[in-house]
Amino acid sequence: MRILAPVLAPLVTADGRMLLAAFVLTLFCLVTKHSMEWRKNWYHFLVLGSINSALPFTLYAFAASHIPAGYASIFNATVPLFGAVFSALWLNEQLTSKKIVGLMLGICGVAVVSHAGPVSLNGEHLLAVAACLGAALSLSLAAIYVKKFATHIKPLPLASGSLLTTGLLLSPALFVYAPAQEKINMTIVASFLLLGLLCTATAYLLYYRLIKDLGPTKATTVTFLIPIFCLLWATLFLGECITAPMLMGCVLIVSGTYLVMRA
């Protein structure tokens, strides 16, 4: 996203990855004879496609245009923190003292990272931080929704249907924000294929299965690993700088998430 969004625009980045993943997954559904049951499930596809794909993908792509990838990955680790609050509200999971301490640590971590270098603290930076947190909130709501309303749908049709529904709804963005042809190179093409096929199609199949088998709270523990890998990749491939405040904030957020998940 850090490579694509500045060139393709956030909406095109988000919709392009959804359509590419949806095409592959829908084709796989046909080959494996998985029934989509559109008349029965279209509403779930629309809701999940909106809050688990279209909105967070667009918000993260917007953020990637303004802040380093490492930043976005750290803020993404707040998904289980939001999930703990929503699980207490809608899934009757107890909000224990340890979880509350974990939430406080996570908030402190967000505050530390928000003020960490090397980006300047300005309106665009703060808006990008808000976009990351909004995306995390949206993803946590989606995990709750799957567990509460959509466990009857198999992971493959659920991933395929939700991506295809909102991908098609946002498709006009591909023409409105079409990038100049001279900006497209092999790096852009390779990044787009990886984002759509590996980070969306493959990842969503695994993620929906985890939510169904383990529940939304445990499934979102995947966010423990995202900052670790992303800081590594961002340093190796994008030359991003890792600062002490970034690491401190990351430790606070992951520690808070651990306390939330430990119960």
- Encoded amino acid at 195, one letter: L
pLDDT of residue 260: 76
Pull the structure tokens for residue 80. 């289980």
Query: For residues 129 and 9, is the Cβ–Cβ distance under 8 A?
Result: no
- pLDDT at residue 190 is higher than 90: yes
Q: What is the DSSP string of 212-232?
A: HHH-HHHHGGGGGHHHHHHHH
pLDDT of residue 243: 82
Q: How confident is the model at residue 84 (pLDDT cuts 50, 70, 90)?
A: confident
Greatest Cα-to-Cα distance within the chain, rounded to the nearest angstrom: 56
Q: How confident is the model at residue 115 (pLDDT cuts 50, 70, 90)?
A: low
Average pLDDT over residues 178-200: 91
Q: How confident is the model at residue 118 (pLDDT cuts 50, 70, 90)?
A: low
Q: Which one is predicted more confidently, 211 or 3?
A: 3
Q: How far apart are CA 146 and CA 159, in angstroms?
A: 11
Q: How many residues does the structure list for the chain?
A: 263
What is the reported pTM?
Answer: 0.86
Pull the structure tokens for residue 9. 């625009």
Q: How far is CA 22 from the centre of its chain?
A: 16
Residue 241 has what DSSP assignment?
A: P
- pLDDT at residue 119 is higher than 70: no
Query: For residues 214 and 86, is the Cβ–Cβ distance under 8 A?
Result: no
pLDDT of residue 131: 96
Q: Which one is predicted more confidently, 222 or 124?
A: 124
pLDDT of residue 26: 93
Average pLDDT over residues 192-205: 93
Q: How far apart are CA 188 and CA 240, in angstroms?
A: 19
Q: How confident is the model at residue 216 (pLDDT cuts 50, 70, 90)?
A: confident
pLDDT of residue 102: 84
Q: Helices marked H in the chain — which ranges?
A: 5-8, 10-32, 38-49, 55-64, 69-76, 79-90, 97-114, 123-149, 155-169, 172-176, 186-193, 203-214, 216-219, 225-238, 244-262
Q: Which one is predicted more confidently, 73 or 133?
A: 133
Q: How far apart are CA 143 and CA 160, in angstroms?
A: 16
- pLDDT at residue 218 is higher than 80: no
- pLDDT at residue 57 is higher than 90: yes
Average pLDDT over residues 47-65: 95
Domain assignments of the chain as residue spans, ordered by start:
5-262
The winner for highest mean pLDDT among 21-30, 66-75, 104-113 is 21-30
Half-sphere exposure of 112 (CA within 13 A, CB side): 18
Q: How far apart are CA 33 and CA 172, in angstroms?
A: 30
